[in-house]
Chains A and B, each alone.
Chain A
Amino acid sequence: MNAVASYNFAYLDEQTKRMIRRAILKAVAIPGYQVPFSSREMPMPYGWGTGGVQVTASIIGRNDVLKVIDQGADDTTNAVSIRAFFAKVAQVQTTTRTTEASIIQTRHRIPERKLEAGQILVYQVPIPEPLRFLEPRETETRKMHALEEYGLMHVKLYEDIARHGRIATTYAYPVKVEGRYVMDPSPTPKFDNPKMHRSEALQLFGAGREHRIYAVPPHTEVVSLDFEDHPFTIQHFEAPCALCGAEGVYLDEVILDDKGGHMYVCSDTDHCEERREAGHVGRQEAAE
């Protein structure tokens, strides 16, 4: 493919990339701390991952292999467009294989396969501030982060238990990073929270509309908040994936007809395909 003449490598100009890299370095140095950065207009609407795209554009090199997932899937509009975007403006190789990728940009999932040292996971973040809905004033939440006043976060969890009998927060579940900052892991299901803990991969979070970047460097402690008598738990699924029979993975419900028929399949499409190629068969697949 030919380069687009009017654009710099990876779309952003070098000064912008430098500015974003400085923010990323600061974020890596202070795990979980939200670093403000001067977010740029991107050729896509807010909510489509403008933050993640800017982070990816700033760190991507010619030899990188990019994978983009949206809710775990490689083949949804968002994932396909962003992959095509970087293939066009940076001429990088793209992939759907988790193992082959050096950079994985994600919207709301962490791949099932354990990430390795050298890989970078870039999250698209809509609302970086975990305290936002508890305390609307940004001046106040910054102060609360600075002074480590996180009692309010537990007020939310308390409310959950009082109302539902258990902690009903299932996504964007707040975590404490390296014993200091409380962080919103972006709207990933809480199922993925344990994967962040001491991950070998570098995790970068970009919030374009909110002008914030934060990071979890490799091998960093990431602990989900909870109560002593109501410990953190992840979702469990009763049946394995209907296509590949995988257990202990995050499943999506797929509606099959208008008579209530449905099945549960891996949310991570690459993981599912890989297993099926290796000969694993789920209930649905076997029935056909």
Chain B
Amino acid sequence: MSGEPLLRVENLTRYYGARLGCADVSFELWPGEVLAIVGESGSGKTTLLNTLSAALEPSAGKTLYRMRSGEWRNIYELSEAERRFLTRTDWGFVHQNPADGLRMTVSAGANVGERLMAVGDRNYGRIRATALDWLDRVEIAADRIDDQPRAFSGGMRQRLQIARNLVTGPRLVFMDEPTGGLDVSVQARLLDLLRQLVGELGLAAIVVTHDLAVARLLSHRMMVMKGGYVIEAGLTDRVLDDPREPYTQLLVSSILQV
């Protein structure tokens, strides 16, 4: 991990009217680091993720991002054009439901190629070759390139969504319950794949999950949220093996042991 962080979050707060979404969140994220945000349903995880990824405006606080140029920018002060460019080149967003992140009516190849075309690639042969390469990396057979995601299984869709996000070589990927809704064996494969890709590409990632096993496998650090606040943060192994907050202890002890 290099000397300077990629993302610096300062006192990020988001209210929905008078209702609290998340409050006073501060942390730093380094290149190549995976941060998990865990907590029960309604604890503000997804609000935090959406605010971090600039899908929501914060009520207070800021998120500073180190651009490729090395310049630090508050992402909420970027112009809309800059922000949209950033989100489709330097960032990725993996939705829980692949249908939210994919274009279901165009082929897998076009799904992967869309970001390339969005940044100006106009060579069909090259786009297709890149798409094939990425399908291979996420273990989708090359002969499925012209099939629509509708014809894919849930696990394949999720892998396609990942390929689509990673094709422009982003530095930061947001994931909202990437393994939610998948059966256990597919989950395991997807986690393997994610772990491998994150390691290979040196991605930084912020993963929201309610599944502590996912956090344990994927992340280096984790934050535990409750009622909109981060109540405990630290190295994943430390938090899971030696939880300090009573709530975290409860959470960890509530995992079913088989």
Contact = CB atoms under 8 A, between A and B. Distances in A.
Interface stretch (A8-16, A63-71, A225-233, A274-282): A225-233
Interface stretch (A96-104, A157-165, A191-199, A248-256): A157-165
A155 interface: yes
Given A147-B84, A151-B114, A151-B119, A161 B106 contact: no
Interface size class of A (residues with CB under 8 A): 10 to 19
B114 A163 contact: no
A149 B117 CA distance: 10
B113 interface: yes
A151 B114 CA distance: 7
A158 B124 contact: yes
B113 A228 contact: no
A151 B124 contact: no
A84 B107 CA distance: 48
A147 B81 CA distance: 6
Contact of B146 (A151, A162, A226, A228): A162
Contacts of A155: 103, 106, 110, 113-114, 117
Interface in B100-136: 103, 106-107, 109-110, 113-115, 117-120, 122-125, 127-128
A283 interface: no
B100 to A, nearest CB: 14
A175 to B, nearest CB: 15
A154 interface: yes
Given A147-B80, A227-B123, A162 B118 contact: no
Contacts of A147: 80-81, 84
Nearest to A157: B124
Given A163-B146, A229-B124, A154 B117 contact: yes
A180 to B, nearest CB: 14
A227 B124 contact: yes
Nearest to B103: A155
Contact of B106 (A159, A227, A229, A230): A159
| B107, B115, B123, B124 pick with most chain A CB within 10 angstroms | B124
B146 A230 contact: no
A143 B103 CA distance: 18
B81 A228 contact: no
Given A151-B118, A155-B117, A162-B146, A228 B123 contact: yes
Nearest to A230: B124
A229 B106 CA distance: 21
B125 A229 contact: yes
A140 B81 CA distance: 13
Interface string B56-81: 00000000000000000000000011
Contacts of A158: 109-110, 113, 117, 124, 127
Given A155-B117, A162-B146, A228 B122 contact: yes
Contacts of A227: 122-124
Of the listed residues B103, B110, B128, the one surrounded by the most CB atoms of chain A closer than 10 A to its CB is: B110
A152 interface: yes
Contacts of B84: 147, 149
A77 B26 CA distance: 70
Point out which of A151, A156, A161, A226 has the most chain B C-beta atoms below 10 A from its C-beta: A151
Interface string A258-274: 00000000000000000
Contacts of B123: 227-229
A156 B105 CA distance: 10
A147 to B, nearest CB: 5
Nearest to A167: B124
Contacts of B113: 155, 158
A230 B119 CA distance: 18
A162 B107 contact: yes
Contacts of A149: 84, 118
A226 B117 CA distance: 11
A152 B120 CA distance: 11
Contact of B107 (A154, A159, A226): A159
Given A147-B81, A163-B146, A154 B109 contact: no
Given A154-B122, A229-B124, A162 B80 contact: no
Contacts of A154: 117, 122
With most chain B CB atoms within 10 A of its CB, the pick from A155, A161, A226, A229 is A155
B170 to A, nearest CB: 16
Contacts of A228: 122-124
8 contacts: A151-B117, A152-B117, A155-B103, A155-B106, A155-B114, A158-B110, A162-B128, A226-B122
Closest 7 CB pairs of A and B: A151-B118, A154-B117, A151-B117, A227-B124, A228-B123, A147-B81, A158-B110
